[in-house]
Amino acid sequence: MVVGDASLDIDTLVVGAGPGGYVAAIRAAQLGQKVLIVDKSELGGVCLNRGCIPSKALISAAHQYESAKNADAFGISVENVKVDFAKTQEFKNNVVKKMTQGVGGLLKGNKVEVFNGEVMFINENEARVFNDYEAPRYRFKHCILATGSRPIELKPFPFGGRILSSTEALELQEIPGSLVVIGGGYIGAELGQMLSKFGTKVTIIEGMDTVLPGFDKDMTRLVAKSMEKTGIEIVTNAKAESAVQTDKDVTVKYSVNGESKEITADYLLVTVGRRPNTDGELGLDLAGVELDDRGLVKVDHQGRSVSNPKVFAIGDIVPGLALAHKASYEGKVAAEAIAGLPSVVDYKAIPSVVFTDPECSSVGLTEKDAKEKGIKVKSGKFPFAANGRATSLNQPDGFMKLVANAENNLVIGAQIVGIEASNLITEIALAIEMGATLEDISLTIHAHPTLGEIAMEAAEVVEGKPIHIISR
């Protein structure tokens, strides 16, 4: 049933209910706005349903399986360790269900109206929201676009059958015997290593000279070494060219230094990046929203579209890293800006995390970044092998590297590879955000024995007075 031509009034229309959109909607409602959030799929977006959360659930299961198989290091014998992958998928699906139901409860509790459907803009401050049953029209004072992104599909490797995107890879109902991954970035590395731990023979084809090319090479070497231990073959400086699939397997042709090669596997996983969801029938042109040549919305320091001040954009559809926590942060800023608060985006302390084994994380500037900006730096590393907790967990591989401004000792960056790197990076992000110095970290009493001590020890290394390693 269509609700006439009369428009219903709303303060803020949020398009997309992922980690950017639902957070923006909640913050806007907390600030007194009448909010409508629209999404054609499930609450939580890609992150909760087809990305961050389900992948981490499967990665955790793979760790449990590997730990059980290798418990003899602790003097524990475990025989006939088996995987019931249907139950593993059930565990993953239950995690997703709990998280998405939680989002629904939060939106309801904050009196955010939810519409399951799509949006089509009519003009700069009106939009039709519709599904199979209704199509009301809304006039909004402001709109926050949070439509996210989707996997990039390459013409030689169209998704379907045995050629998978990350979405289909997370829904596999059996553990593949073999898998080829095109793209050794964070998605390919995480999913490839997860399946390898379950017993899949994995080959990663990467165009750069290392997996995880955006990270420090000292970090990626440790990840590559760990991958190779579980039998992953990493082919670098390679170009994937074509694929032919049957109902049983897929054969991939690729080249390395001009030499043609091919490999056959049960499945092919293509993870070469993500594309912003700003195309299709959304009608951003009718809303007066200007895009750049990559399909990203041009925004100012508050997320406001430079071409239509009534419309804001956040997350994967604006410049910067495609990170769920970046989207959530930008969502809060946009909602607060709409409410008249002086909030602006500041990306100096946004962490990047990869849930490989070992985990990788970084925040702030690397030494190279800082030097390119003309900042005199000093840095130091502390190895996990010198930390009592890491050793007692039988996880001694890794290090934390701290980067500080040489003139005032302000902490400006960190890179961590090792167990729980994803959690350890938060202390350094806070240090950068609050303008902490090396002394602030080294003089903070850290509980013993914990992995958190690594931050204190790394700060002491940079200061030139480490306790638990010999200063060189």
Binding residues for FAD are: 56, 147-149, 316
Look at the chain and count its residues. Answer: 472
How far is the C-alpha of 107 from the C-alpha of 114, rounded, in Å?
Answer: 8
Look-up of token digits 């559809």: 317
Tokens at 408, concatenated: 């005032």
Q: Which residues contact 101 (CB under 8 A, 6 or more apart)?
A: none
Residue type present at position 319: P
How far is the C-alpha of 225 from the C-alpha of 234, rounded, in Å?
Answer: 10
Q: Where are the alpha helices (DSSP H) in 339-466?
A: 367-372, 388-392, 421-434, 438-442, 453-463
Distance of CA 416 to the CA centre of its chain: 16
Tokens at 211, concatenated: 């997996």
| Catalytic residue check, 142 | no
Closest CA to 213 of 250, 185, 180: 185
Give the three-class secondary structure for 259: strand
Q: Which residues contact 264 (CB under 8 A, 6 or more apart)?
A: 178, 249, 250, 251, 252
Cβ 298 vs Cβ 209: under 8 Å: no
H/E run at residue 178: strand 178-182
Beta bridge partners of 163: 160, 268
Which residues belong to the annotated binding site? 56, 147-149, 183-190, 206, 273, 316
Look-up of token digits 């003089």: 443
Buried b (16+ CB within 10 A) or exposed e, 138-176: bebebbbbbbbbbbeebeebeeeebbbbbebbbebeeeb
Cα first-last separation, the chain: 75
Name the catalytic one among 63, 142, 301, 448: 448
E-only strand ranges, 211-310: 233-235, 238-245, 250-256, 259-265, 267-270, 274-276
How far is the C-alpha of 46 from the C-alpha of 166, rounded, in Å?
Answer: 11
Cβ 314 vs Cβ 331: under 8 Å: yes
How far is the C-alpha of 340 from the C-alpha of 61, rounded, in Å?
Answer: 45
Which residues belong to the annotated binding site for NAD(+)? 183-190, 206, 273
Query: Which residues are designated catalytic?
Result: 448
